[in-house]
Structure 1
Amino acid sequence: MENKDLILYGAGGHAKVIADMAKGTAWTIKGVIDTNKGGEHLLAKYPIYLKTENLPLYGASRWVVAIGSNAIRKKVVEELRGKPFGIIQDKTAIVSEYVQIGEGTVIMPAAVINVDARIGKHCIINTAASIDHDCVLGDYVHISPNASLAGSVSVGEGTHVGIGATVIQGIKIGRWCTIGAGAVIIRDVPDGCTVVGNPGKIIKQRNF
């Protein structure tokens, strides 16, 4: 039988939501690691340990990096290289059995992911986000609450799609982009762009 003990790395607001929704799943949270907290601090009812402290079932558990920042989440995952990562899906999420989901990804309450979508590693599919058929998300992507991706949209590594944003079908969004809250994306977006407004307009692009 697979070990369903879970360790969260991070003790902020995002981690609170993950801890809360894990109660309705087969996962059992054994503890939380945060480099800035420890001792008497708790995340909900769960103890918080400093990174250097001994953690119950340290070697046997699965991990989820519960940090909202895509860049920081990637950095921590790289520091934890070799650790086994879990996938947490809230009991109210609707996910087709034909969806591929990478390790470390969390799917929040009321999210919908439709048939033949592919979700990368360590992604956040946030509350009531909608991802339609045949979408492809790279690693470390964050789809914010109430954001909607129509069919066959692709989103590159590390991109953050803001709250309530809408992306029409077939659009390609590059790596490490920021799509502003409420933006409507009707054209492809190159790597490193910040896009806001309706229709979406590129206001900044950084070089890689």
Structure 2
Amino acid sequence: MRNIALFDLDHTLIPIDSDYEWGQFLCRVGAVDAEEFARRNAAFFAQYQAGTLDPVEYLEFALGTLARFPRARLDELHMQFMQEVIQPALLPAAYDLLKKHQDQEDLIAIITATNRFVTAPIATALGVQHLLAAEPELDAESNITGKLLGVPTSGQGKVIHLHNWLAQQQKQLTDFTSSHFYSDSHNDIPLLEVVTHPVATNPNARLSAHAAARGWPQIKLFEKQ
């Protein structure tokens, strides 16, 4: 494989934030105290959009919520979440973009700040084998303990996780002739700055301005969906 293509997930390959929508889903089905959870979830989401989110604080909140449920119940809830929320958000434009890189036989990975429990089934549905995501600690029965393993996969953390993942394969980013990274958020500027082909995808205002100043291409996948 001569090239590598990396993709953010939320608002990049799907036009929603899967982590936020998971929280909204838990409220709708009565799995959590809707008023309290929605209040905290909305506050964290606003911080994320503003670029002020403490990723460890948020992940401890999100993983702590998951830790309340036995794994079998979590998996049952996630199947319903996929059917009701995620499947309608899997749009042709995202599959077409992925297929372009698949047809070129590029090494493809999704790298997301959202935790693996929420995102692994989404990556599978998109046909992407490799997923770099926030890693929840699991006990012997695969129940989520509420603790985060390692550093968050956000900001500079995405660069760290990418380098570590490639090192496990005895590779480094410079081994590839070209490297693409598609993202919607200014929070991903550290990783966008280190690839050969950064692409602002459905960009928020801050990333759009940065991309324009840097001469990066900007695309809107879901404009006509």
Which category of TM-score, normalised to the shorter sequence, fits these structures? under 0.3
By percentage of residues, which structure has more helix? Answer: 2
Normalising by structure 2, we get a TM-score of 0.23
By percentage of residues, which structure has more strand? Answer: 1
Normalising by structure 1, we get a TM-score of 0.25
